[in-house]
A and B are shown apart, each in its own frame.
Chain A
Amino acid sequence: MIDTVIFFVSAVIAVGSAVMMISQRNPVLSVLYFIVSLLAQAVLYVQLGALFLGAVLIIVYSGAILVLFLFVIMLLNLRGTEDLGPTGPAVSRASKYLVSVLLLVELVFVIKASFFSAVPVGIVDVAPSEFGSVESVAELLFSNYLYPFELTSILLLAAIVGAVVMAGRLRDTHQEEGETETPTTDVQIKEEV
């Protein structure tokens, strides 16, 4: 009984705040709604008995990635009232509709598949005891999903190297133009406030 109540409350919060997130003009509020949605999702994981996945969801997304989002938003001091500039060429304006339609189709397929799947979806009475535990996740990660796992780490490494190279190039051009070396974040903020 109480499980059902908790499930529906957190499911509504998760979906509702996801909708609020994409309908906000203010980027900081968007991030906040994103966090609320993630917390509600973590509650759902915990209800399934997957404590580990719930904790990792919060640590990785709420604890690290969204702090980074907030940092960038605050660094640029975006408040949702900025003029977004002239709209791009017709192709790039059309692309957003194309991507939206693709995502919608994907969503429909996922929902349809879950209705007809053999595995029960929704409130499960008894979750398998091993489901979502540290051991079972680790076992899958290092057996069935070893190659995707290793490939992801290479992808991340490539991204880090790329970011460093781009930052280095930016600094070189600054020096060639005779500017002072890499202004610290504080200096940039002073100019913008």
Chain B
Amino acid sequence: MLEVVIISSIKVLVVISVVLFGCAYATWLERKVLGHMQHRIGPLYAGPHGLLQPIADAVKLIFKEEIIPDKVERATYALAPMISFIPAVLTFAVVPFGVDGSILGHEVKMVISDLNIGILFVFAITSLGVYGIVLAGWSSGSKYSLMGGIRSSAQMISYEISYGLSIIGVILIAGTLSLTELVTQQGSTSIWFFANWFILKQPLGFLLYVICAVAETNRLPFDLPEAESELVAGYMTEYSSMRFSMFFVSEYANMIAVACVGVTLFLGGWQGPFIDTMPWLAMVWFMAKVIFWMFCYIWLRATFPRFRYDQLMAFGWKVLLPVALFNTMATALAVTLGWL
């Protein structure tokens, strides 16, 4: 019992540290990649290639003065950043990140908790994240924040359905809800190491997942809750200092979470070539895939302009939802007939 508690605690500490470190350096990646895509240089002076910039930013945000406007609803105003931060980090509890092995004579599973309903856990937790944004908007007592919050809730309701349906195809084919089991099924020993990845059987589902994931994390082109050209900063307009940075970190943690789940569902998780001889490579493959996903995320931001509000709603309800329903039906039919 004690051994399990100690091993789990170490795993939790390691995963949280890696995720927070990843969040910090995701901001650096974003500024650097965006900079180069827009013919700028990005952060340069703090450390080589600006590598110390995230640390400098963190220190700056911690020491900034906290300003709380008079009109806020105190309790919810203080709670909102935490409500948006905690679900973002909780998601990582079920993501498998490597081959199970033994370290110093102890059997260690490379996942914090191997729930048999893992993917449902992910969706239950991520659906709670929206409350942080909505409550921040409502409790700030500012019209910009309120509008950001309302937009966020409407967007979340509209895209949550397609988001949920986009993964049904994978679940139908795999016949399991456990993320560990999903990764195992995508393994392949042939030279075509990606032969069993679900992206090949579910290309439409993958596309839907990517679109809805971008919408769920409020990133461009779906960042209407914080559209700076019309709403100043949307739901986080009235926040400053550490509370602001918690929103900031949770946005990046959400991006990484969505990337991890997407990689696990469609891109084979930690599967890759040579892992049977060198099991530690699994973690490298997983990291590489997640970083590539993050790069594409930033690429999207540099490429697309923001949607107009009515376009966003029409796209969600009139395009994504029918396509997602079609994909579900088609996959169900194919699985029943034994084609997949």
Contact = CB atoms under 8 A, between A and B. Distances in A.
Interface residues of B, number: 32
A51 B128 contact: no
B138 A63 contact: no
A189 B128 contact: no
A190 B147 CA distance: 9
A142 B8 CA distance: 39
B292 interface: no
B266 to A, nearest CB: 21
A64 B177 CA distance: 21
Interface in A45-59: 51-52, 55-56, 58-59
B232 to A, nearest CB: 14
Contact of A52 (B120, B127, B128, B164): B120
A184 B157 contact: no
Given A67-B156, A67-B157, A184-B309, A75 B117 contact: no
B158 to A, nearest CB: 11
B185 interface: no
B226 interface: no
Interface string B143-162: 10011011101101100100
A117 interface: no
A74 B127 contact: no
B45 to A, nearest CB: 41
A70 interface: yes
Interface stretch (B31-39, B129-137, B243-251, B254-262): B129-137
Contacts of B137: 74
Nearest to B129: A63
A68 B157 CA distance: 7
Contact of B124 (A55, A67, A185, A193): A55
A35 interface: yes
Contacts of A19: none
B210 to A, nearest CB: 20
B5 to A, nearest CB: 12
Contact of B121 (A29, A55, A62, A74): A55
B123 interface: yes
B128 A71 contact: no
A64 B160 contact: yes
A87 B130 CA distance: 36
A185 B130 contact: no
Interface in B198-239: none
Contact of A74 (B117, B150, B309): B150
A63 B128 contact: yes
Contacts, number: 89
B150 A75 contact: yes
A142 B149 CA distance: 39
A185 B115 CA distance: 40
A11 interface: no
Interface string A179-193: 000001110011001
Contact of B310 (A55, A184, A189): A184
B117 A134 contact: yes
A48 B123 CA distance: 21
B17 interface: no
A9 B124 CA distance: 22
A98 to B, nearest CB: 34
B157 A74 contact: no
Interface in A39-90: 42, 51-52, 55-56, 58-59, 62-64, 67-68, 70-71, 74-75, 77
Contacts of A134: 117, 177
Nearest to B308: A184
Contact of A64 (B116, B120, B143, B157): B157
B127 A64 contact: yes
B128 A58 contact: yes
Given A62-B128, A185-B150, A185-B309, 6 more contacts: A32-B131, A55-B117, A59-B123, A67-B127, A70-B138, A185-B151
Interface of B: 76, 115-117, 120-121, 123-125, 127-128, 130-131, 134-135, 137-138, 143, 146-147, 149-151, 153-154, 156-157, 160, 164, 177, 309-310
Sorted nearest first, the 6 A-B pairs with minimum C-beta distance are A63-B127, A58-B124, A55-B120, A71-B153, A193-B143, A55-B124
